[in-house]
Amino acid sequence: MKAKIQILLFGLILLFSANPVFSETEDKETIEINAKIELEKVSRNIINALRYGRFGLADTEWKKIQSDVYKSYPEYDYLNGSLLYSRMEWQEAKESLNKALKKEPNHEAASFLLGMIYAQEDSWSEAKNTWMETNQISPYNPFYHYNLGLAYYILKDYNNAILSLNKSLEYKANYNEAKFILAKTFLELNETEKAKAELTTILEQDPKHIQASHLMGRVVYITEKDPKKSLTYVKNPRLLGWREKKVYARCYFEIRKWRDAENLLRPIAYSPFADEYDQSFYLNLLLNLGYDERANDFFHFIQKQSQNESKIAEAYRMLLSSREGKDLLYHYFKLRY
């Protein structure tokens, strides 16, 4: 009997001594579960706030997850990178997003945003490489394929641009932005009929699409040589790309609206990548307008230009393309400034 009592007492001691361990384990698991739930909720709030430009709300939500329990999760680093991205603090944002990807290589949102930063930095080759990885993580997102296609277009890899943009349209059939870049790509390849077909579908669906309208006018002039018809597609001269400015300047010249032609061609004529045709055409415009002194000044300007500026011209053209690309990108977040 005494032996039974001793065994019972020993068992009770073991039970009571084990309870704190179980309790501590349960508390740790509860803390982690609650942390995940809170992080998921705050993450949704921050992402939505950044999408709609409610930056004050995003900052307030961010303050809720500053204890150490949250900092081990990749989502914490992704959110930090997103906030830094919204402030255009590119380097710090990249570091935070790379931390998230190191913890979770398949974090598609972090991968996509990292590519956006490279694009903002005019590093389109790095953006392309990053978005290729994003598309491997999430192969059915039309916006990821669209941005990748745009990067290929900026880098003049037109065949791959077509593949990516068609993939985007496969998952989002009426994606006019993808059709627009596809039309621009076809034009670069001198496939004007294909470009016209894409632009026609855009304008049928959205007649007020300014960029598509401007590009269609360029196509009309190339295919029909009808300057008056081409000019009917101009909706806002301030939004014309440099290629369209050259075409529409020619249209205005042909209908003897020389002043309008000169206004459009002036920034092209003085740019580092103006060719001899642009320069002689602009000189002719100045003379037709009776601007003899300006024509003389322009002649001396082009005489002084170095004959070895091809690298500068190419860099300038790349920067213009990059600026256009940034405007055409699919942006998931707004920027504060």
Tens digits of per-residue pLDDT, 54-93?
999 999 999 999 999 999 999 999 999 999 999 999 999 9
| Domain termination residue (choose one: 77, 102, 121) | 121
Q: Taking the complete model, does pTM exceed 0.75, yes or no?
A: yes
| Domain termination residue (choose one: 87, 121, 155) | 121
Interval 124-146: pLDDT, tens: 999 999 999 999 999 999 999 99
Q: Is residue 144 part of a domain?
A: no
Within 8 A by CB and 6+ apart from 59, the residues are 83
4-8, 44-48, 190-194, 200-204: least confidently modelled range: 4-8
Number of domains in the chain: 2
Q: Is residue 170 part of a domain?
A: no
pLDDT of residue 12: 45
Task: For residue 292, give the H/E element and its range.
Answer: helix 292-304
Confidence bin at 272 (pLDDT 50/70/90): confident
Q: Is residue 136 part of a domain?
A: no
Q: Is residue 213 part of a domain?
A: no
Q: Is residue 100 part of a domain?
A: yes
Q: Is residue 158 part of a domain?
A: no
**Largest interatomic CA distance in the chain:** 125
DSSP state of 330: -
Q: Is residue 156 part of a domain?
A: no
Which CATH number is 113's domain given?
Answer: 1.25.40.10
Give the range of the structural domain holding residue 330, as residue numbers without chain letter: 257-336
| Domain termination residue (choose one: 82, 99, 121) | 121
Phi-psi region of 226 (alpha: psi -120 to 50; beta: other; left: phi over 0): beta
Q: Is residue 30 part of a domain?
A: no
Within 8 A by CB and 6+ apart from 82, the residues are 46, 47, 50, 93, 113, 333
Check pLDDT > 60 for residue 315.
Answer: yes
